[in-house]
Structure 1
Amino acid sequence: MNASHVSIPSYDGQSFSAYLSLPPKGTGPGLILIQEIWGVNEHIRAVADQYAMDGYVVLAPDIFWRQKPGVDLQYTEADTKFAYQYMTNLDAPNTVRDLQSAAQALRERPEVTGKIASLGFCMGGRLSYALAATGAVDGAVCYYGGGIQNNLEQAPAIQAPILFHYAELDDHIPPTAVAAVQAAFAGRSNAQFHVYPGVGHGFNCWSRPLYNQRAAALARGRTLQWLAENLG
């Protein structure tokens, strides 16, 4: 893969790192990939490379840099405790501003030849939703975004296409939360929802026990079709 770490200027005069993965042809639409709580770890970098192989210029920014740059954790019990601490201490408004900076930096890269979208998992799914509400991206994908149901006041601001993936047996996001998000977008043609039966939270991550190959493949296929239709 043609991948590297690049520096992104922040809105307040600092800078932070992001993992950049380029497609085989070198150019394509842009994708902001937003991490889970374990940082821009081996799994997230592999997902970035996966979408780069599909022709997207993928940028995975370091979300936790204001707490500790370069967080790269595994899915162990010990590392997960640290991951939850980083998530708990996250400054959400600053993080969304950092994501806006990352989106702008991605748009300005010479390799990007079209629109850009965001795609996030879990905490990253919620941040993908929040980024879409700022208008900084041309579309957003939210995999089991915990907490979106608590931020439905942002829904009217989201005019770009948005795709939601939820797990039927998610122990972090109850069915009532999914229904609330669906209700907030009722009658709007820009929102698409998929609920995957019989699977739990984190079904897309092959490094976690709840990984489900069929659901992950189905969601990825739907995401690629959605990206192709909305980003070109």
Structure 2
Amino acid sequence: MIEIPTLDGDGAFDAYLAEPSGAPRGAIVVIQEIFGVNPGIRAKCDGWAGKGYLALAPDLFWRIEPGVELDPDLPNEFQRALGLMQKLDQDQAIADIEAVIREARRRMGESKRVGAVGYCLGGRLAFMTAARTDIDASVGYYGVGLEGLMGEKHAIARPLMLHIAGADHFVTPDKQKLIHEGLDDHPKVTLHDYPGEDHGFATESGARRSDAAAKLADSRTEAFFAEHLG
């Protein structure tokens, strides 16, 4: 874990750092689910480091409760995670993600590119990061509430890929329809649908994982970052 100063300099927060064995080809900010920077999110970072990227996962709940690590397969911890999500100031979270982007560029040099990939809550924040920061490329997995963010789509100037779970019980078919209607013709946005898959299908482990769909989505994400980050 490393410490990253906030943009306004009034505090600092922890982020999990995974470094490649050689010079990084780029950096990837891994944006947590509602369960904190838990073993699954750290494993995502380690995987990206193994592919040559500098990977950082910020603790976005640090103002509420730092160091949260929850297991989505345990009902009481799932409910606790929902409560933390409701308390999160998402605008502040985007500012913290921007601070991580700056830290990544500082570590690598400004010539290297930075991407972001997020899951669940992080999928929503990945969309917001694409619209509100100078991130070079972003990927969102089963982001919640994207249909309510269509007013920001005009600000997306760099590539964004979204993975949509067709049977997502948080993002119902009517909401998926609004997302497609809002983004299908956007020149910077690519949408992938996964029919029959539920929310959380690409988690690293646990009951929510759907292996074939996860591998397909992850292969698309890897190719996307290889194209846009190097």
TM-score by length of 2: 0.95
SS of equivalent residue, structure 2 residue 199? coil
**Percent of aligned pairs with the same residue?**
35
- Note if 1:24 corresponds to 2:21: yes
Match among 99, 102, 107 for residue 101 of structure 1: 99
SS in 2 for 1:7: strand
Q: Which residue of 1 aligns with 2:216?
A: 218
Matches within 5 A, 1:46-65: 46-65=43-62
The 4+ residue runs of structure 1 with deviation greater than 4 A are none
CA distance in 1, matches of 2:32, 2:155: 23
> In the alignment, what sits opposite 2:157?
159
Segment of structure 1 superposing worse, 159-168 or 170-179: 170-179
- Residue by residue, what CA displacement relative to the aligned partner does 1:181-207 show, whole Å, maximum 9, x if unpaired? 222223222111111122111000143
| Count of aligned residue pairs for this structure pair | 228
Whole-angstrom distance in 2 between the partners of 1:220 and 1:79: 26
Match of 1:37 among 27, 34, 40: 34
Q: Distance in 2 between matches of 1:104 and 1:217?
A: 30
Aligned equivalents of 2:29, 2:150: Cα separation in 1: 22
Say which is worse superposed, 59-68 or 94-103, in terms of deviation. 94-103
Aligned to 2:114: 116
Which AA in structure 2 matches 1:226?
F
SS at match of 1:59: strand
1:6 alignment counterpart: 2
| RMSD, aligned CA | 1.4
Give the 3-state SS of the residue equivalent to 1:17 in structure 2. strand
Unaligned runs of 5+ in 2: none
Secondary structure of 2:112's match?
Answer: strand
Q: Which residue of 2 aligns with 1:82?
A: 80
Q: Could you say which structure has the higher strand fraction?
A: 1
Residue type of the alignment partner of 1:82? R
User: SS of the counterpart of 2:108?
Assistant: coil
Contact 1:28 1:113 in 2 (8 A): no
SS of the residue 1:87 aligns to: helix
